[in-house]
Amino acid sequence: MLIFSVLFFNLIIGCLFYGLPSESSYNTNIDLNFENITFSSIRKEDQVIQAFIFAWNGYKKYAWGKDELEPLKKNGSNSFGLGLTIVDALDTAIIMGLKKETNKAIDWIKNDLDFDVKNDNVNVFETTIRVLGGLLSSYNLIKHPILLEKAKDLGDRLLSAFIQSTSPIPRSDVNLKTRIASNPSGYSSLAEVSTIQLEFRELSRLTRDMIYEQYAMNVSNYIHRIGCDGLCPYLLDVNDGKFIETTRTLGARADSFYEYLLKQYLQTNVDWFREDWNNYIDLIEKDIYMKIGSDYVLGEIEKDKTFSAKMDHLACFLSGSLALSYQNGINSKHLKMAENIAETCYKMYDTPSGLAAEIYKWKEEKISSDFRDRHSLLRPEAVESFFYLYRVTGNRKYQDWTWKIFQSIQKYARIPEGYSSVKNVYETEYITRIDKMESFFLAETLKYIYLTMAENQTILPLDEWIFNTEAHPFPISK
């Protein structure tokens, strides 16, 4: 039944295209034209597609081939040199059925994506989740052979991070041209080393070469074996593989470790992933999941073991993971916990701009954000969780919340050249902008908003597809 459903989904995607998606015959037949349509008169899901096209066109005009658009300078940034926005956003364009955008991206990947060009380091984690993940998910959707060819080439180069390490922990950086791995700081974050397994396992599945999965799985096995005293610190010494005592958090540098415990279980059916996931959720509930006033907060345990009522917007991912856990029958109490956290995450958007700040703190039962943390990068974690909760519960309030956030993005982040990050979500009279349109805005934020607002809720069913931490879907093989 699973194989039939996956094939059926690919058939539906294929119906959006002419012929077989091969090098010789790949083409699309959907061409959405919004030029003469009143914005408020079209369906909500089509308004999201229009927003994606607008962002894509700004990137295409000013930054094509660069990693990300700098809309204020009308230029592109190129820290990776891998066309991040093109590869990261490709599967969103495919899912939305966009002909011109998909074909242009495929042409660039075929003719211009060359991993030998940039003689410099790239971060293994970011490259894996955005570029490798984007190539693999897009290949699964349309089966264009160049996507898998490029994914294998990239995977071979990234393996250096594992092979050249003195411990089971991979090095943080790789020079893709020379294939020399390094770790300038001497340590790697927990999220970096534990959030690459879905992608390497999928590469093994598609190429039938187990070496990618084996190296990535060694990391998971190692962390499982050494364990943590409670929740895990967020740093590991790459030389000896030992944890470095740091804050215990669900925010930056730790978040997706927990996310991938659940998702690796769904991808592999290996029991200890499920056991570790459940055990860590119990620890989260006991140690950092606190009700402060009317809000359920995911705080942190500081290095001195004290509790801090500080919550990153990044931590909102847990709500969606808990909903997914509930849907898969892992633990019935996880749904209520997911709903409570989602309420808090939605409250983060209760600002004058309707955008959420990066980090919040609770003092005397009141939520606030320090001035340095009041920026918004248009992150996806809240709308990601609303997507999961809407799929799992059918409660339309999650659609309403998502739509309200989308409208705020349209009002305060959209500028003539594309979309910009916002420096202070509490200001609306004069918007101070950050000169960057993150690739994840197209790859994740707009994708999750689209999937939540789509009338067809059978697109990418959660029992057949699993999303990596960059919102790239892989089919579940059981």
Going from N- to C-terminal start, the domains of the chain cover: 2-475
Q: Which amino acid is at 182?
A: S
> Does residue 441 carry a pLDDT above 70?
yes
Angle in degrees, 0-180, between the axes of helices 446-453 and 397-412, rounded to the nearest 10 = 140
pLDDT tens per residue, range 222-252:
999 999 999 999 999 999 999 999 999 999 9
Instruction: State phi, psi for 209 to the nearest 5 degrees.
Output: -120, 110
Q: For the residues 443-466, what does the mean pLDDT come to?
A: 98
**Band of pLDDT at residue 216, cut at 50, 70 and 90:** very high
Q: Is 306 annotated as ligand-binding? A: no
Distance CA 431, CA 224 (A): 46
2-475: CATH topology is Glycosyltransferase (1.50.10)
Distance CA 48, CA 152 (A): 32
Percent of the chain with pLDDT over 70: 91
Q: In 10 A of CB 117, how many CB atoms?
A: 12
- Closest CA relative to residue 231, chosen from 164, 284, 271, 274: 284
Would you say 249 and 234 are in contact if contact means Cβ atoms under 8 Å apart?
yes
- Closest CA relative to residue 222, chosen from 249, 241, 245: 241
> Is-catalytic flag, 358?
yes
pLDDT tens per residue, range 72-114:
999 999 999 999 999 999 999 999 999 999 999 999 999 999 9
Would you say 130 and 111 are in contact if contact means Cβ atoms under 8 Å apart?
no
Between residues 25 and 119, which one has the greater pLDDT? 119
3-state DSSP assignment of residue 409:
helix
Residues in the chain: 478
pLDDT tens per residue, range 40-73:
458 999 999 999 999 999 999 999 999 999 999 9
Among the listed residues 67, 70, 358, 417, the single catalytic one is 358
pLDDT tens per residue, range 245-279:
999 999 999 999 999 999 999 999 999 999 999 99
| Strands, E assignment, 266-419 | 289-292, 295-298, 300-301, 307-308, 310-312, 359-363, 366-368, 414-415, 418-419
Among the listed residues 255, 312, 339, 444, the single catalytic one is 255
> Is-catalytic flag, 381?
yes
Q: For the residues 173-200, what does the mean pLDDT come to?
A: 97
Q: For the residues 328-351, what does the mean pLDDT come to?
A: 98
Which pair of structure tokens corresponds to residue 403? 């739509």
> Does residue 434 carry a pLDDT above 60?
yes
pLDDT tens per residue, range 5-34:
444 455 455 444 433 333 333 333 333 333
Among the listed residues 88, 276, 295, 381, the single catalytic one is 381
> Is-catalytic flag, 384?
no
Q: What angle do CA 286, 290, 295 make, to 5 degrees?
A: 150
Q: Residue 188: in which H helix or E strand, if any?
A: strand 187-189
Would you say 390 and 399 are in contact if contact means Cβ atoms under 8 Å apart?
yes
Q: What is the largest CA-CA distance in the chain?
A: 64
Question: pTM of the prediction?
Answer: 0.93
**Band of pLDDT at residue 416, cut at 50, 70 and 90:** very high
Q: For the residues 358-370, what does the mean pLDDT come to?
A: 97
Q: Residue 237: in which H helix or E strand, if any?
A: strand 235-237
Q: For the residues 298-309, what does the mean pLDDT come to?
A: 97
3-state DSSP assignment of residue 349:
coil
Burial 169-187 (b: 16+ CB within 10 A, else e): bbbbbbbbeebebebeeeb
Percent of the chain with pLDDT over 90: 90
Distance CA 184, CA 172 (A): 8
Would you say 415 and 74 are in contact if contact means Cβ atoms under 8 Å apart?
no
Distance CA 219, CA 465 (A): 24
Give residue 150's pLDDT: 98
Among the listed residues 126, 156, 373, 427, the single catalytic one is 126
